[in-house]
Amino acid sequence: MKILVTGAKGFVGRNLCAQIHNIKEGKARFYGDITVDDVFEYDMDSTPGELDAWCKEADFVFNLAGVNRPKDQDEFMTGNFGFASTLLDTLKKHGNNCPVMLSSSQQASLTGRFGNSEYGRSKKAGEDLFFMYGIETGAKVLVYRFPNLFGKWCKPNYNSAVATFCNNIANDLPIQVNDPSVELELLYIDDLVNGMIAALKGEEQHCEFDGIDAILKEDGRYCVVPTTHKVTLGEIVSLLESFRKQPNTLLMPEIPNNSFAKKLYSTYLSYLPKEKVCFPLKMNVDDRGSFTELLKTGNCGQFSVNISKPGITKGQHWHNSKWEFFIVVSGHGLIQERKVGSDEVLNFEVSGDKIEAIHMLPGYTHNIINLSETEDLVTVMWANESFDPNQPDTYFEPVASK
């Protein structure tokens, strides 16, 4: 399959082309039976001759080209409707009736706050042109009205509030929110790209529109990527502020699978400046080695790393309710546990050459001994709750019975 992507250097185009190239090169094998032979990337620096040649060869066309922020309002119609006409005329010239996708916008509904949108009128004109093209040629036409988009590589201070907020908060720049209660419908770029790959396979989802709301309908005239999130500006800013604090608090906010928070965090990280990509951790160092907290969670405890110098024994304490995993990743050691009130000692010889997870059981005093005379013992530790200095639930008692 040969695929033409117009607007290939824009936000959606870059992400879509990157994933299509991953498919072409065999790096993304989870899309099933789909083969990509060539990706034709058309943008403002491409030539009319290239567009002509690619329209002749293409087996599928994604038309993502468009104008969002022109100097003059008239450029909306020229950039959006005008180029769409050129593209379709070129396909007709070569008798190429391959499927064509159009990236439109909710503003094309021309309802509510979009009722007087020049941008919306240009998008609506493009939609009508594509639908007429489908009737005239019999080509499959896929028209998507996208809501607000967000994700990596989106240009800040352009046409995405999320991109602007992510960029400014990541770079300690001011943001302005006039009304935190304003709600946005947001579509994440990876969800959009997966929807476009589904369209390549003939598995697009169809809908009709009630104003700006997409109503799934098997024989709908429009197409839709239904995985969107409705979030207020205030909620977005609150999440981003918690992300910014994470290197200091070590607290990872809840980011459930497929949640808006998870997608926003990935987006936020893509705007970090170089000096924030790496951040220091507080090492608690003494003559025995070091102990460093790595990551805390609200509901699932914390991760730490412990380094013990040769011959050193650490631990010698027990917990009522807290329990832990000790995972030695480098060195050679011995982990011992003894049930409080018992003389039986459980011994576990551990090594970075055979990585295992050892439970530190509630009600068992435990230690970890570096058996090497020359090498540090490095242990990754997970506790089921974050350390609370006001209620540490930690009680000294040697493992060796009296």
Other C-beta atoms closer than 10 Å to the C-beta of 181 total: 9
CB 137 within 8 A of CB 47: no
Annotated catalytic residue: which of 119, 144, 265, 268? Answer: 119
Question: Any idea which residue has 């808006």 for tokens?
Answer: 260
Helix, strand, coil percentages (3-state) for the chain, rounded to 5, are 30, 30, 40
Whole-number Å distance between alpha carbons of 358 and 336? 10
What would the DSSP string read from start to end of 262-328?
A: HHHHHHHHTT--HHHHS----EEEETTEEEEEEEEESSS-EEEEEEE-TT-EEEEEE-SS--EEEEE
Looking at residue 114, the DSSP 8-state letter turns out to be G
144 an active-site residue? no
Please, which residues have CB within 8 angstroms of residue 78's CB and are 6 or more apart in sequence?
A: 67
- Residue 148: phi and psi, rounded to 5, are -65, 135
Question: Any idea which residue has 């011995």 for tokens?
Answer: 334
Enzyme catalytic residues: 119
